[in-house]
Amino acid sequence: MKTALKILATLSASVLFGVVSVSAQSTFQNLNFESANLPNGTQPGSVSVANALPGWSVFYGTSQQSQIFYDDVSLGASQVTLVSANDPFGPNAIEGNFSVLLQGGSTATDVSIRQSSLVPVLTESILFKAQAEGPMTLSLGGQNIAFAPLSTGANYTLYGGNIPSALAGQVEQLEFSVPEGPGGNNAWNIDSIVFSATPVPEPATWTLLLYGAGLFGVMRQFRKR
């Protein structure tokens, strides 16, 4: 019993705090959005996708965009914005210098960022940090990836979803898409995307792991007494 509880506690700790990343093996670029090439002192307004989001394509509905916004949040229109750590008008970057804000507004069916590249061979899941309002779709290789909140930080929620094994080792398109929303109220500020070699537990398994870790702690206290 003692050994089983230790295993459960170890597994839960690895899921919560020790997810094995395989992002270094991936040819996907700029998954943390830190590769932006903007001169110091760039003012809020329109900037090129090539400079703001190297490696990514931006679409409003089916229309590919050559320009997005920098530190200039929409008040209702569909918009993709590169937000800095000191955005004066909207949410700030979650980590580092930049995050990407996708606002599903009234002027397009959805807004999306897309990138096609090699999915690492060992990939089991995908993780990302976000500040969220409303729905969002995550897809890889044209397949929707169901994702769920795993933990929370001071200014974000960590989300994760399992990836079909057939996609690992293949060149596929990764897409984050936020649909049209009333008054631009669908908005996701995204950062720190990671491909992981650790699968995200199903809800029932997640509950069991947390229960096992808690029970292990209770038994330790009981034995001390």
Q: Tell me the average pLDDT of the chain.
A: 84
- pLDDT value, residue 203: 59
Same domain as 101, residue 11:
no
Same domain as 177, residue 81:
yes
Same domain as 224, residue 168:
no
Same domain as 219, residue 146:
no
Spatial contact of 176 and 161, defined as CB atoms under 8 Å apart? no
What is the domain count for the chain? Answer: 2
Give residue 76's region: left, alpha or beta (phi > 0; psi -120 to 50).
Answer: left
Same domain as 173, residue 90:
yes
Tens of pLDDT, residue by residue over 167-194, are 999 999 999 999 998 765 799 999 999 9
Same domain as 206, residue 185:
no
CATH number at residue 172: 2.60.120.260
Tens of pLDDT, residue by residue over 137-147, are 999 999 999 99
Same domain as 61, residue 11:
no
Same domain as 76, residue 178:
yes
Residue 68 CB neighbours (<10 A): 24
Same domain as 132, residue 68:
yes
Least confident of 20-34, 86-100, 133-147, 178-192: 20-34
Q: Identify the domain containing residue 176 by its residue range.
A: 21-197
Same domain as 42, residue 88:
yes
- pLDDT value, residue 73: 86
Strands (E), the chain: 45-48, 57-60, 63-65, 67-70, 79-84, 98-104, 110-118, 125-133, 137-140, 143-144, 148-152, 157-162, 171-179, 186-196
Same domain as 79, residue 129:
yes
Of 17-26, 85-94, 149-158, highest mean pLDDT: 149-158
pLDDT-above-90 percentage for the chain = 69
Measured CA to CA, the distance from residue 85 to residue 199 in angstroms comes to 31
Same domain as 217, residue 145:
no
Measured CA to CA, the distance from residue 89 to residue 135 in angstroms comes to 22
Global pTM value: 0.80
Q: 63 or 5: whose pLDDT is higher?
A: 63
Q: Which one-letter DSSP state was computed for residue 21?
A: B
